[in-house]
Amino acid sequence: MLDATTPLPRTFAERLRAGRFVMTAEVAPPVSCDAQDLLRKATPLHGLADAVNLTDGAGARAHMSALAAATILLGAGIEPILQMTCRDKNRIALQSELMGAAALGINNILVLTGDNPKAGDQPDTKPVFDVDSATLLATARRLRDEGTLPTGREVSGKAPFFLGAADMPIDPPPDWKPSGLQAKVAAGARFAQTQFCMDTALLRRYCEALKRAGLTEHLAMIIGVNPLRSAKSAQWMKSHLFGTVIPDAMIERMEKSADPASEGIRICVELIEELATIPGIAGVHIMAPGNDAAIPEVIAAARSRVQRAAG
C-alpha cells in the first residue's frame, strides 16, 4: 500500500494496482459541437480526479460522441474512461470503435448495456443490442491479448486496454452468488464502477460476499456516490434510479439542514472517508448530474481526509 507521501503512479490502472484509493468522476458530454463546452465541464477535474468517465448516450439521449469527448480530454491532460454501450451499435461498429480507441491512446474502457431508448427523448429509436456486455468485454480482451477479432482476423498494433464493467450493490441474501459479476470478470473486467450506493453497512456485507466468492482479488470495486443537492432530489434518485441505495437517515439529515447543498457535500466527503476503510473497496466514482461544480470540491476535501486517515 502506498502512503500519502509516495508519488502517485502515473495512470488510473497503475494506481489501482498499487492499492491507491482512487476517485473517479463522471462527465456527460454536452449537447454541443464545440469542444470548449466539454472542456469547461471537465477542466476543473484536472489534477483532482484519477480518471474521468465520458458517458455514451446516457439517458438514451444524443450527446457529443463519447469517443470524441475522451480524445479531447486526453489532449487536455485528463485521463479518460471511455464508456461503450451495446445499445446503439452492432458488433462490427463496436469492434471498429475499440480499434479506434486503441489508436487514439484511450486505454480505459467501461462496457455497459445501455439505457433503454424508451426512457429517452426519442422513444421510437430502434435499439441494437447485437451483443451483451460480457461478449463485448471478451472481444476487447481478445483484441488486447491475442490481437485478433472474434472471427480470428488479425489486427495490427496494440490495444493495452484496462477493462471495466458496471455493477449494482445489493444486500446479499445468505445463499447469494455474484454470478453476473463473475461472468464479467471471466470476460476480462478488472474494475467495476457501481450505481449510487451510499449505505456503508450494506457495502460491508456486499464486499464480504464478493470476497467469499473470490472476486475482490481480481476486481477493483469503485462505488458510485453523489453530493446530494436536496432531500427532494435524494428521494427522487432513490425512487426512480434503479438500484440506487440512499439511507433514510441521510435524507432526513438533508431535510433538517439549512443549507442542503453544502450538507450534501459534507455527507459525501464523510461517506468517502468511511468507504476508504472498507476492505474490498478500491475507490469511489462521483456522479453529480446537473451538479458538476460540486465534484471538484468533494474530491479535494475527501482526498485530504483520506490521506490524513492513511497517515
- 154-178 pLDDT, tens digit each: 999 999 999 999 999 999 999 999 9
Q: What angle do CA 115, 282, 302 make, to 5 degrees?
A: 95
- Within a domain: residue 1? no
- Within a domain: residue 216? yes
Among residues 232, 160, 163, 167, the alpha carbon closest in space to that of 191 is found at 163
- Within a domain: residue 3? no
Task: Read off the C-alpha cell for 274.
Answer: 468511511
- 10-51 pLDDT, tens digit each: 899 999 999 999 999 999 999 999 999 999 999 999 999 999
The CATH number linked to 78 is 3.20.20.220
Among residues 301, 306, 81, the alpha carbon closest in space to that of 193 is found at 81
- 258-273 pLDDT, tens digit each: 999 999 999 999 999 9
Return the pLDDT at 305. Answer: 87
H-only helix segments in 43-167: 66-75, 91-103, 133-146
Q: Which comes out higher in pLDDT, residue 311 or 255?
A: 255
Arithmetic mean of pLDDT over the chain: 94
**What does pTM read for this prediction?**
0.94
Residue 61, pLDDT > 50, answer: yes
Q: Give residue 31's domain range.
A: 12-310
Total domains, the chain: 1
- Within a domain: residue 5? no
